[in-house]
Chain A
Amino acid sequence: MVMSDMESAPAAPARIAGVDEKILAERAREAASTRRDVLFDVSRLTVSYADVPALKGVSLEIYKNFVTAFIGPSGCGKSTFIRCFNRMNDLIPSANVDGTILYHGIDLYGPEVDSVEVRKRIGMVFQKPNPFPKSIYDNVAFGPRVLGWKKDLDARVERALRHAALWDEVKNRLKASAYSLSGGQQQRLCIARCLAVEPDVLLMDEPASALDPISTTAIEDLMHELKREYTIVIVTHNMQQAARVADMTAFFSVEVDEEQDRRTGVLVEYDATPTIFTNPGDKRTEDYVTGRFG
Chain B
Amino acid sequence: MTAQDATAAAQPEPIRLRGERRRWGEDVVKGILALCALVSVATTIGIIIALVEPSIEFFREVSIVDFFSGDRWAPLFTPASFGIQPLLVGTLVVTFWACVVCLPCGLGAAIYMSEYARPRVRNVLKPALETLAGIPTVVFGFFALTFFTPLLQDLGLGVNVFNVLAAGLVVGVMLIPVVASVSEDAMSAVPQELRDGAYALGSTRLQVSTRIVVPAAISGIIASYMLAISRAIGETMIVLIAAGGIAKITFDPREQSQTMTAFIGATGIGDIPTGSIEYKTIFAVGLTLFVITFAMNMLSIRLVRKFREIYE
Query: Which residues of A does B touch, CB under 8 Å?
Result: 86, 88, 91, 93, 116-117, 119-121, 123-124, 126, 128, 130-134, 142-143, 145-147, 179, 190, 193-194, 197, 203
Contact = CB atoms under 8 A, between A and B. Distances in A.
Contacts of B194: 130, 132-133
A194 B201 contact: yes
B196 interface: yes
Contacts of A190: 197
A86 B193 CA distance: 15
Given A119-B201, A126-B196, A132-B212, 17 more contacts: A93-B119, A119-B199, A119-B202, A119-B203, A123-B201, A124-B200, A126-B193, A130-B197, A131-B197, A132-B198, A133-B194, A133-B216, A143-B202, A145-B211, A146-B202, A197-B201, A197-B202
A203 B200 CA distance: 10
Taking each of B119, B199, B202, B203, which has the highest tally of chain A beta carbons within 10 Å of its own beta carbon? B202
15 contacts: A86-B200, A120-B202, A123-B200, A126-B193, A128-B193, A131-B197, A132-B212, A133-B194, A133-B309, A142-B198, A142-B201, A146-B198, A146-B207, A147-B202, A179-B311
Task: Give chain B's interface secondary structure class.
Answer: helix
B204 interface: yes
A126 B198 CA distance: 11
Taking each of A86, A91, A147, which has the highest tally of chain B beta carbons within 10 Å of its own beta carbon? A91
B195 A91 contact: yes
Interface in B12-51: none
B265 interface: no
B310 interface: yes
Given A88-B196, A190-B197, A93 B203 contact: no
Contacts of B211: 142, 145-146
A231 to B, nearest CB: 16
Given A126-B196, A130-B196, A179-B310, A143 B201 contact: yes
Taking each of A117, A126, A132, which has the highest tally of chain B beta carbons within 10 Å of its own beta carbon? A132
Interface of B: 118-119, 191, 193-204, 207, 211-212, 215-216, 309-312
Contacts of B191: 130
Closest 9 CB pairs of A and B: A120-B202, A124-B200, A143-B201, A130-B193, A133-B309, A130-B197, A119-B202, A133-B311, A146-B203
Nearest to A125: B200
A193 B201 contact: yes
A75 B212 CA distance: 30
Contacts of B212: 132
Taking each of A121, A146, A197, which has the highest tally of chain B beta carbons within 10 Å of its own beta carbon? A146
A267 to B, nearest CB: 24
B312 A179 contact: yes
A88 B197 contact: no
B196 A91 contact: yes
Given A117-B202, A133-B216, A142-B211, A126 B310 contact: no
A116 B191 CA distance: 20
A16 to B, nearest CB: 31
Contacts of A194: 200-201
A242 B193 CA distance: 24
A91 B309 contact: no
Given A93-B118, A132-B212, A133-B216, A116 B204 contact: yes
A101 B212 CA distance: 30
B119 A88 contact: no
Contact of B215 (A86, A93, A133): A133
A34 to B, nearest CB: 27
A86 B202 CA distance: 10
Contacts of B202: 116-117, 119-121, 143, 146-147, 197
B310 A133 contact: yes
Taking each of B191, B201, B309, B311, which has the highest tally of chain A beta carbons within 10 Å of its own beta carbon? B201
Nearest to B195: A91
A116 B312 CA distance: 26
A220 to B, nearest CB: 21
A91 B311 contact: no
A132 B203 contact: no
Nearest to A177: B310
A267 B198 CA distance: 30
B193 to A, nearest CB: 4
